[in-house]
Amino acid sequence: MAKLSTEKLARAEMLSSNEDAIAISEMNKWFGSFHVLRDINLSVKRGERIVVAGPSGSGKSTLIRCVNRLEEHQSGKIVVDGTELTSDLKNIDKVRSEVGMVFQHFNLFPHLTILENCTLAPLWVRKTPKKEADEIAMGFLEKVKIPEQADKYPGQLSGGQQQRVAIARSLCMRPRIMLFDEPTSALDPEMIKEVLDTMIELADDGMTMIVVSHEMGFARQVADRVIFMDEGQIVEQNEPEEFFNNPQSERTKLFLSQILGH
Amino acid sequence: MRNVSFVRSEMLAEQTPPLTSIGVIGWARENLFNGWFNSILTVISLYIVYSFLSFLIPWVLTPTWKATSLNECREINTALTGHHSGACWGVITERWPQFIFGFYDRSILWRPILVFVLFLATIAPILFERVPRKLFLLGPVFPFLAVWLLWGGSIWSPVFSFLGLVLGYLVWRSLKERVNAVILLLSSIGVPIIWWMFLTEPASGLLAEIIPYEIQILPSRDFGGLLLSLTIGLTAIFCSLPIGIFLALGRQSDLLIVKVLCVWFIEFIRGVPLITLLFVASTLLNIFMPPGTNFDIIMRVVIMVTLFSSAYMAEVVRGGLAGLDSGQYEAANALGFSYWKAQRLIIMPQALKISIPGIVSNFIGVLKDTTLVSVIGLFDPIGLTTVVLADMRWNGVYWELNVFVALCFFVFCFSMSRYSMYLERKLRKEN
C-alpha cells in the first residue's frame, strides 16, 4: 500500500510538471435555450488520465464532444495543445488531427474492410503513402489483438472487436489525446473486459485520455482524477481513491450509492 | 404431487402424409375448391382466363409477316385459318427501321449504331468490375464523340468542346491545393463554360477553314423512334444523377441561400407536370431567347427532362442520406475529414447504396417519360405510331404497333431493373 502511494505521488509530481494538453475555462454551452454546460473550468495535463462520471443528461458526453468541436461552445475558451477552438476551420482541423475519439456505438464505416477503416484517414487526410498506411494500421490492429480480422467487414465482428478496431482506427492518425465517449456502454458484459484491457494498455503507454464511463473499476485502476458532473456542472473532482472512499457532495454520494450499491 | 416426468423410450419413424393433402389433388383441394364459394370463384376465373386466351392465342399463333396492308393481312389470315384474328406483323417488318432510327438518313445508319456500341463500351467498366479498367478513358471523350457522330458537322467543334473539359481539369489540378472547395468547384466549372460559350465556336470555325473536315450534318427533326428516346433518356439519366446528388446535399446544407435555392428548385420541379416543362421547352423558351438564336429542340428537351429527373433524384438520394446514422458524420469529422472528402469516401458510398432501388426506378421512369415528347411534335416511338396509323394501308393496327413499342422499352427497362438487383446482391455480400 505504501509503495503504491509513493508511486502515485511520483506520478502526480510528474504530471504537475507537465504542460496543459487541454485547458477549458469558463465554458458555457446551450442546446437552444437549454443550458447544457455551465461554467466549465478544466485543465488536463499531458499524459493525464481522466474519467468523467455522472448521471445521464449531465453533459459529460457534450463536454468531451466540445473538445474536438463535434459540438460548438457558445462562450468561454477551449485550448487544445496550444490551439484555441474558434470557428476558424484551420484550427478545428489542427485540433482534430491531434485528438482521437472513440464512440459508444463504434461508428465504423460499414462499407469498408477493417484495414480500410484504419487506413482511410491516414491516406486521405494525412496523405500517407498506401504501403506505409497499411503497415501502421496492421501495427495498431496487432496492438488491439485483431490483426487476423483485417479483411473482414465491421458487420462480421463482435461488438468488442468492433470497438477495438475503432480504437485502432483513431490511433492510426497518431493522436496525442484520446477521447472515449462511453466506450463500453453498448457492449455485452463479456466483451467489456477486452475493450477495457486495450484502454489500460493505452494508458500505460502514456496517452492523454478523457474517458466518459460508468466503469468504476476502470476509474479506480487507471484514472489520475475522477470528475463527477451533474446538471451541466462539475460537481466534484478528486483522485479516484478519495473520490470513491470519501465523496464530499451529497449528489456524489447519492450517485455512488446508486451505481455501486448493488 | 402429479408425476410430470416423461422419458421417450423409442423414437418415431417418419411417415408419409395422407394422399389427399399432397400432389396435384391436394394442392387443388387446398387452393381452388376449398368450400362452395371458392369453387364458384375458381370456375368463373377459369372462364375469364379462357376467353382472354381464346383471343390471344390465335393472335399469337397465326400471325402474318409479309402483308403490305391491313386488308391484305386479313385476307391472308382468313384464307389460312378461316378467321382473321392473327397478328399483322407486316407493319413492323415494313416499318421497324423507322421505329428504331426515325427519319435518320438510311445511308449513314452506321453512325447511330457506332454511337450505341461506344455507349455500351463506355458504361461497361462502370457496370461490371471484370471489364478492363482502361475503358474508363472513353468516359470523358464519349459525349463529344457521340454528339458529333449523331448530328455530324465539322470535326473541330467536338475537338474544341473536349478541350474545354481538359481546360476544366487543368484548372482543377492547378488550384486543388491552393483554394477552398467552393472556389475550386466554381472555377473549374466556370472556366470550361466560358470556353464553350465564347471561344469554342470561333476557334473551331477558324480551324475548319484551314483544315476542313466534316461529315454529313443531320438536323434534329430527322431524329426519331428509339434513337430519339434513348438520346434524350440516357443523357438525362447520366446528367441527373450527379445534379441530384448535389441538390440533395444542398438541401441539407447549413448555408442558408444554397439550401433555400435547392429546396425551391426541387419543390418547383416536382410540383409541375413534365408536359408543361416540355411545352416551355418547345414554345415559350424561344420567346425569351434573343431573336436569331437557334437553340436545338432536342437540346432543350434534354435540359428539361434532366432538370425534371434530377429533382426526383435529389429526393431519392436525400432518403439515402437520411437512412445513415449520424455517427458516420461524427466519426468522419473526428478523424479530420473535410466535408467533401467525407461525402465522397464515407457518406455517399453508403447513401447511394441504400438508394439504389429508388435511383433505378427513377432511371426507368425517365426513359419511359421520354415518350411524352410526342406531345410537342417529336417523333419518338409513340409519336411514330400516329404517323403509321395515318397511312391508309395500316389504319387500325393498334395492337401490333403498341406491342412492338412496349417491347422496345421493356428490353431497356427490364435490363436496368435486373442490373439493379444484381448490384444490390453484390453490395450486400460486402457486409
Which residue from B328, B331, B430 is facing A153, i.e. has the nearest CB? B430
Size of interface A-B (CB pairs under 8 A): 64
Question: Is B182 touching A (CB cutoff 8 A)?
Answer: no
Total count of residues recorded for chain A: 262
Q: Phi/psi at A70 (nearest 5 deg)?
A: -70, -25
CB contact under 8 Å between B431 and A125, yes or no, is: no
What residue numbers bound the domain in which B396 lies? 229-431
Low-confidence stretches of chain B (pLDDT beneath 70)? 1-2, 20-21, 289-294, 429-431
What is the Cα–Cα distance from B231 to B102, expressed in whole angstroms?
Answer: 12
What is the Cα–Cα distance from B386 to B382, expressed in whole angstroms?
Answer: 7
Q: pLDDT tens digit string along B320-349?
A: 999 899 999 999 999 999 888 999 999 999
pLDDT of residue B393: 86
Output B154 or A198, whichever has higher pLDDT. A198
Question: Is B326 touching A (CB cutoff 8 A)?
Answer: no
Q: pLDDT tens digit string along A2-33?
A: 455 677 777 877 777 788 899 999 999 999 99
Distance of residue A249 Cα from the nearest chain B Cα, in angstroms: 35
Quote the percentage of chain A above a pLDDT of 70: 97
What is the Cα–Cα distance from A209 to A212, expressed in whole angstroms?
Answer: 10
Question: Is B4 touching A (CB cutoff 8 A)?
Answer: no
What is the Cα–Cα distance from B221 to B374, expressed in whole angstroms?
Answer: 12
CB contact under 8 Å between B335 and A170, yes or no, is: yes
> Does the pLDDT at position A256 exceed 70?
yes
pLDDT of residue B267: 95
B221 occurs within a structural domain: no
Q: pLDDT tens digit string along B262-309?
A: 999 999 999 999 999 998 888 877 777 666 666 788 888 999 999 999
Q: Which amino acid is at A190?
A: E
B306 occurs within a structural domain: yes
What is the Cα–Cα distance from A144 to A17, expressed in whole angstroms?
Answer: 31
Contacts with A93 from chain B: Cβ below 8 Å: 336, 338
B233 occurs within a structural domain: yes
B262 occurs within a structural domain: yes
Mean pLDDT of chain A: 90
B146 occurs within a structural domain: no
Distance of residue A247 Cα from the nearest chain B Cα, in angstroms: 34
Q: What angle do CA A24, A29, A31 make, to 5 degrees?
A: 155
For residue A37, the cross-strand partners are: A29
B342 occurs within a structural domain: yes
Count of the separate structural domains present in chain B: 1
ipTM value of the model?
0.91
* Lowest model confidence (mean pLDDT) among A169-178, A182-191, B82-91: B82-91
Which residue from B325, B336, B431 is facing A96, i.e. has the nearest CB? B336
Count of beta carbons in the 10 Å neighbourhood of residue B44: 10
B383 occurs within a structural domain: yes
Please report, for the domain that includes residue B342, its CATH number.
1.10.3720.10
B219 occurs within a structural domain: no
Which of B412, B364, B117 is CA-nearest to residue B237?
B364
| pTM (2 d.p.) | 0.85
Strand runs (DSSP E) across A46-104, as ranges?
A: 49-53, 75-80, 83-84, 99-102
> Does the pLDDT at position A1 exceed 50?
no
CB contact under 8 Å between B336 and A121, yes or no, is: yes
Q: pLDDT tens digit string along A68-107?
A: 999 999 999 999 988 999 888 888 989 998 899 999 999 9
